[in-house]
A and B are shown apart, each in its own frame.
Chain A
């Protein structure tokens, strides 16, 4: 069964850091385009970042320079390193695989909540 399981969310102070993990099973992370999507409380979905199978990475303007997407092929796991966190980064963070060729998100993880507050 294809599955994604996120972990690493929690409460962090403004300016702090957090690393989210997304463990995959049933498929190979490195062979797929993988993304992070977030959803602030009561708001819509916001694309955050993507890592292509070739290793190229892209970010939303709202997180560029502060967040880093990466993967560990040996662990079949996707990561999101989040630095210089702000209150507006408070959200549920989902990891998702992108399906070729037109890149829809499927499957999704269950999400992990990140709260940035003092």
Chain B
């Protein structure tokens, strides 16, 4: 099965930029999606298809994907961005198509 690896935690000061990586074999050839999850809540889609934002998601959230690493970037970080973030791909050729990354806890200092 395909494996996605994220750093367990990222710490960032308010107003600075947070970058969360998602590593996978040749992930640049796949479409990567990102979710934000706050305690006690369901995940919320923040980026789809590597870099597209759903309506209602601030422009501060952006994504990129190349080679073996996809990246979620949160610019001008706010206290409300403190949450867990997960990357995800869909491996249609697999019998186990749904794949989530290991998750990253973003802490706003």
Q: Which residues of A contact B (CB under 8 A)?
A: 35, 37, 44-48, 50, 58-61, 94, 98-99, 102-106, 108-111
**Which of B42, B54, B84, B96 has the most A CB atoms < 10 Å from its CB?**
B42
B95 touches A58 (CB 8 A): yes
Residue in contact with A111 in the complex, picked from B42, B95, B100, CB distance below 8 Å:
B42
Tell yes or no: B61 within 8 A of A by CB: no
Residue in contact with A108 in the complex, picked from B42, B49, B101, CB distance below 8 Å:
B42
Give 11 CB contacts A-B under 8 Å.
A37-B100, A44-B84, A45-B35, A45-B43, A60-B96, A99-B48, A103-B92, A104-B48, A104-B90, A108-B43, A109-B42
Residues of A with C-beta under 8 A to B43 = 45, 94, 105, 108
User: Within the complex, what minimum Cβ distance (angstroms) separates A2 from chain B?
Assistant: 12
B49 touches A102 (CB 8 A): yes
Tell yes or no: B15 within 8 A of A by CB: no
Residue count of chain B within 8 Å CB distance of chain A: 26
Within 8 A of A (CB), among B78-105: 84, 86, 88, 90, 92, 95-103
User: Within the complex, what minimum Cβ distance (angstroms) separates A37 from chain B?
Assistant: 7
Q: How far is the CA of A82 from the CA of B101 in the complex (A)?
A: 25
Within 8 A of A (CB), among B22-52: 31, 33, 35, 37, 42-45, 48-49
Residues of B with C-beta under 8 A to A37 = 98, 100
A44 touches B86 (CB 8 A): yes
Q: How far is the CA of A105 from the CA of B90 in the complex (A)?
A: 10
Q: How far is the CA of A105 from the CA of B101 in the complex (A)?
A: 14
Given A45-B103, A108-B42, A110-B42, does the pair A102, B90 have CB atoms closer than 8 Å? yes
Residue in contact with B96 in the complex, picked from A61, A103, A109, CB distance below 8 Å:
A61
